[in-house]
Structures are given as structure tokens and as C-alpha cells.
Amino acid sequence: MARFDPGRGESPRWGPGGGEDAMGVEASIRTLIAFLHDELATVASYRRALPGFAEAPDGEELRACLASHERRIATLEQRIRFLGGDPNEEEAEQDDAGPVTTPAPGLGDAADAAITALEASEDRGLKHYLDDVCKLDRDTRSLVAREILPEQVRTYDSLTDLKLTRRL
């Protein structure tokens, strides 16, 4: 889908109540793409870490967090398309989520390191959402507040709890 072009006299594709200006839509798309890249990096981190937790009690909680991030990716991609953007567009500058150690069975230190790295990723993600939600148009901000932020808080809390129970 082509991005809307205000220079051609087009108006952004909005539902009832429209009226958002082109700059607001473009800023929303850029911000959503940045959120999407963070979510994709976080999912990759979970996928690298999860094999080491196949039999561990923490594995189920980590799989639930991964599923939450995958749902957020779908929501972000859908909203980007709705606004006329391309979810596959590259960001101008990308942060690296950093490596996540894949724990080997029976190696508590590696599992602890993976939990610590995932918790740091959740912390960065929460901070990014909170810092940049103000860059979104009103309807998209409401969507993020209603569907994405509560899940980000939940996965952040889950990893923080896992980290604390491991006394890291």
C-alpha cells in the first residue's frame, strides 16, 4: 500500500472523526516503525533464550511473554498499514537489543544471564513506549495505551519477578 502524499492533496486514511494532519500521520508511522523494530528485536532475543528453558519452570512464563510480543508485532504492523505506512521500512537509526545468552541445561549462570538480558530488554521497551507515545496521533496513542502498553507492563513485571526470584 502506498503511503499517503499530502502534496497531492490527499488526506490521511482515518476512520470517523479524521482530520489528523500529514505531519501527525508521518510522525505516528515513524514512531510505530521504531516500536515495531524494538518488538522484533525482543522476539529474536526470546527465541534465542527459550531453548535453554525447555524443561525449566520459567519456560512457560517466557513463552507467554514471547506470545505477547508477537501479538504486539501484529498490532503494530496492522496500524502502520492502516496509516498508509510500510511495516518493512527501515528505521533511520536502529538500536541493537543486544545479545541474549542461550542457557545450557543445568547451567544456572547462563539462565540467570538470559533472564537478566531479557529483563533489560523489557525495561528498554517500556521506557521507549512511555517516552515516545506522545509522538503518536490521538487514535494511535489510544490504541497503544489500550492494547500495547498494558502488555508491555505485564511482560516487564514478569521478567522483573523472574529476576528477583532468582535473586539476580
Secondary-structure breakdown of the chain: helix, strand, coil percentages, each rounded to the nearest 5: 70, 0, 30
The whole-number pLDDT of residue 16 equals: 39
The whole-number pLDDT of residue 7 equals: 44
Confidence of residue 143 (pLDDT cuts 50, 70, 90): very high
Under 8 Å between Cβ of 38 and 125: yes
Looking at domain 21-87+102-165, its CATH architecture is Up-down Bundle (1.20)
DSSP 128-161: HHHHHGGGS-HHHHHHIIIIIHHHHHHHHHHHHH
The whole-number pLDDT of residue 62 equals: 96
**Among 84, 2, 6, 90, residue whose Cα is nearest residue 40:** 90
Confidence of residue 91 (pLDDT cuts 50, 70, 90): low
**Among 82, 74, 59, 88, residue whose Cα is nearest residue 148:** 74
Amino acid at 84: G
Which residue is associated with the grid cell 505516528? 28
Torsion (CA) 71, 72, 78, 79 in degrees, nearest 10: 150
C-alpha angle 39/42/48, rounded to 5°?
Answer: 145
